């Protein structure tokens, strides 16, 4: 069966960061999201002459999955009543709703650990899916860009998973 040709749009697509109890939907607006899976190494056996022999095998995890989000900043941060993109960038100190009320999904870590879920909606007869990453941390080095049309922040997350857990809707 051929791949459906209906154009997938980001309308209805959501990216949700959560601590197991609370969630923050990252607003795409004019922003974007990229995911680069860590994947696995490829192991190839060699014969006595040093030539590759036999079928390749899946080896160890090659790396962490890297996730990046760019979005418009709507709140300057240190908001004690609601989660904000600015406070997700900070990840330190006691100011802000996220730093004071969110709980890490992994209590053994010194860092706050989250879940991140990308949901692609069902469009017509083409089913959507959720792509979920656990063991997600915010990498240091959030970047800010002030432009004529607003303030934007870019965050990088990493997940210990080699690839997303995907569930078809």
Q: Which has the closest alpha carbon to 7: 145, 153, 124?
A: 124
**CB 28 within 8 Å of CB 15:** yes
Q: Is 49 part of a structural domain of the chain? A: no
Domain that holds residue 132: 14-38+60-168
Query: What does the alpha-carbon distance between residue 129 and residue 144 come to, in Å, rounded to a whole number?
Result: 31
Q: Is 135 part of a structural domain of the chain? A: yes
Q: Is 48 part of a structural domain of the chain? A: no
| pLDDT values of the chain reduced to their tens digit, one per residue, 169 residues | 666 666 667 788 999 999 989 999 998 878 899 999 999 999 999 999 999 999 999 999 999 999 999 999 999 988 999 999 999 998 776 668 888 888 999 989 888 899 999 999 988 888 899 999 999 999 988 999 999 999 999 999 999 999 999 999 9
The reported pLDDT for the residue numbered 49 is 95
The reported pLDDT for the residue numbered 130 is 96
Q: Is 32 part of a structural domain of the chain? A: yes
CA gyration radius, the chain: 19
Number of domains in the chain: 1
Q: Is 130 part of a structural domain of the chain? A: yes
Residue holding tokens 């709507």?
Answer: 74
Q: Is 1 part of a structural domain of the chain? A: no
The reported pLDDT for the residue numbered 27 is 86
Q: Is 9 part of a structural domain of the chain? A: no
Q: What are phi and psi of 51, to 5 degrees?
A: -90, 145
The strand pairing partners of 116, in sequence order, are 17, 133
The reported pLDDT for the residue numbered 25 is 94
Q: Which has the closest alpha carbon to 100: 73, 123, 75, 79?
A: 79
Report DSSP letters for 61-81, one per residue.
E---EEEEEEEE--S-S--SS
pTM: 0.88
């Amino acid at each position: 069966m051929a791949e459906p040709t209906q154009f997938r749009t980001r309308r209805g697509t959501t990216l949700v960061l959560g601590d197991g109890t609370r969630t923050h939907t990252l607003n795409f607006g004019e922003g974007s999201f990229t995911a680069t899976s860590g994947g696995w190494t490829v192991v190839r056996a060699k014969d006595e002459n040093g030539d590759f022999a036999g079928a390749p095998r899946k080896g160890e995890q090659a790396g962490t999955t890297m996730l990046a989000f760019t979005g418009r900043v709507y709140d300057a941060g240190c908001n004690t009543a609601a989660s904000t993109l600015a406070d997700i960038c900070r990840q330190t100190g006691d100011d802000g709703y996220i730093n004071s009320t969110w709980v890490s999904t992994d209590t053994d870590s010194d860092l706050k650990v989250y879940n991140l879920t990308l949901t692609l909606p069902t469009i017509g007869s083409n089913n959507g899916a959720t792509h979920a990453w656990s063991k997600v941390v915010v990498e240091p080095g959030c970047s800010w860009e002030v432009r004529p049309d607003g303030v934007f922040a870019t965050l990088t997350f990493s997940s210990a998973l080699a690839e997303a857990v995907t569930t078809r809707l």
